[in-house]
Amino acid sequence: MIAGNIGSEVRMDYTVVGDNVNVASRVEGMCEPGKVLLSEETFNQVRDHVQATRMDPIRVKNRDRPVQTYSINIGDS
């Protein structure tokens, strides 16, 4: 991931780009209101601390394989 001022002398914006940003954007876009959705890489970091349901994998631009996702069980919502 790259974060910083990106652009030209005419127009410059502070932004982030890279594979991790694309994955985060796709996971966020698939998440329903009131839910918490994680990629498999993130889930592996917290798996001993949360209960989760394995969801369908999602396609991400510039990746050959889909990204496995997990929905955190946060109650009866």
How much is the average pLDDT of 14-25?
A: 88
Query: Is residue 17 included in any domain, yes or no?
Result: yes
Query: Is residue 33 included in any domain, yes or no?
Result: yes
Query: Is residue 35 included in any domain, yes or no?
Result: yes
- Total number of domains constituting the chain: 1
State the CB neighbour count (10 A cutoff) for residue 17: 12
List pLDDT tens digits, range 38-61.
999 999 999 999 999 999 999 988
What's the pTM value of the predicted model, to 2 decimals?
Answer: 0.75
Query: Is residue 77 included in any domain, yes or no?
Result: no
Q: What is the pLDDT of residue 19?
A: 84
Query: Is residue 30 included in any domain, yes or no?
Result: yes
CATH number for position 57: 3.30.70.1230
Print the domain residue range for 35: 2-72
Residue 9 reports pLDDT greater than 90:
no
Percent of the chain with pLDDT over 70: 96
Query: Is residue 53 included in any domain, yes or no?
Result: yes
Q: How far apart are CA 29 and CA 18, in angstroms?
A: 17
Residue 77 reports pLDDT greater than 70:
no
Full DSSP string of 12-65? EEEEEESHHHHHHHHHHHHPPTT--EEEHHHHHHHTTT--EEE---B--TT-SS
